[in-house]
Chain A
Amino acid sequence: QARLVQSGAEVKEPGASVKVSCKASGYTFTGHYMHWVRQAPGQGLEWMGIINPTGRRRWYEEKFQGRVTLTRDTSTSTDYMELTSLRSDDTAVYYCARDSSRWFGANQGWWFDPWGQGTLVTVSS
């Protein structure tokens, strides 16, 4: 079945960059968009952005514009999320999650499934 495996935990200093990978298996990689979501310690889920199946288009949450870049390598079925100019409040678990959608009567719905296991990024001097 579909599975997403993320890269390991990272510790970074303020001002540095981090790049998290998300390798997909068990489904047609180029048939789905991919979302990225983060969760700060003790906090809720925060949507960061989405990349389209070819990797040519991305959309980012406004607060991350200019600092986040999503990329995709279709040859290895791997997505990447790079966050630059790291601050202490970027300390969080970062998740990738596969997008699916369809119409339910007159309403369209999207769902994120599966999720990667999460990658803890710690920003500390």
Chain B
Amino acid sequence: SSELTQDPAVSVALGQTVRITCQGDILRTYCATWYQQKPGQAPVLVMYGKNNRPSGIPDRFSGSSSGNTASLTITGAQAEDDADYYCNSRAGSVDRWVFGGGTKLTVL
């Protein structure tokens, strides 16, 4: 399958650690990429490759991958991390890309 599966919603207490996961067979071959989206705004890249943060993204964000699962971990979640998070990857050998359904992260 070339699809990506995410939990629809996750919550975390302020200052605690949360892991958002993305599953799909294509992740055995291609790296997952993670985007953060806040209401009314365009998505923002927060993680790419194995564990690469763009400039400006806090180091509390980290990425990992094992088998068919990629994870985005926020260590010490802040109120401003309350957002939707989408994983994305190339969908196989053809020139097609796919997004996960998104995870709504609530920081309590």
Binding site for B on A (CB under 8 A): 35, 37, 44-47, 50, 59, 61, 95, 97, 102, 104-105, 107-118
Contact = CB atoms under 8 A, between A and B. Distances in A.
A104 to B, nearest CB: 4
Interface string B85-107: 01011100011111111100000
Contact of B95 (A44, A50, A105): A50
Question: Which of A35, A97, A107, A116 counts the most B-chain CB atoms under 10 A from its CB?
Answer: A107
B33 to A, nearest CB: 5
Contacts of A112: 33, 35, 43, 45, 88
For the complex of A and B, 5 pairs with smallest distance between CB atoms: A109-B31, A111-B48, A59-B95, A104-B49, A113-B45
Q: Chain A contact residues: over half helix, strand or loop, or mixed?
A: strand
B96 A59 contact: yes
Contacts of A46: 99
B33 A111 contact: yes
Contacts of A45: 35, 37, 43, 86, 88, 99, 102
B29 to A, nearest CB: 7
B42 A117 contact: yes
Given A44-B86, A104-B49, A109 B30 contact: yes
A72 B38 CA distance: 29
Given A109-B49, A115-B44, A47 B97 contact: yes
Contacts, number: 75
A95 B49 contact: no
Contacts of B54: 113
Given A45-B102, A102-B49, A104-B50, A110 B44 contact: no
B21 to A, nearest CB: 16
A79 to B, nearest CB: 16
Nearest to B31: A109
Given A95-B42, A113-B54, A108 B102 contact: no
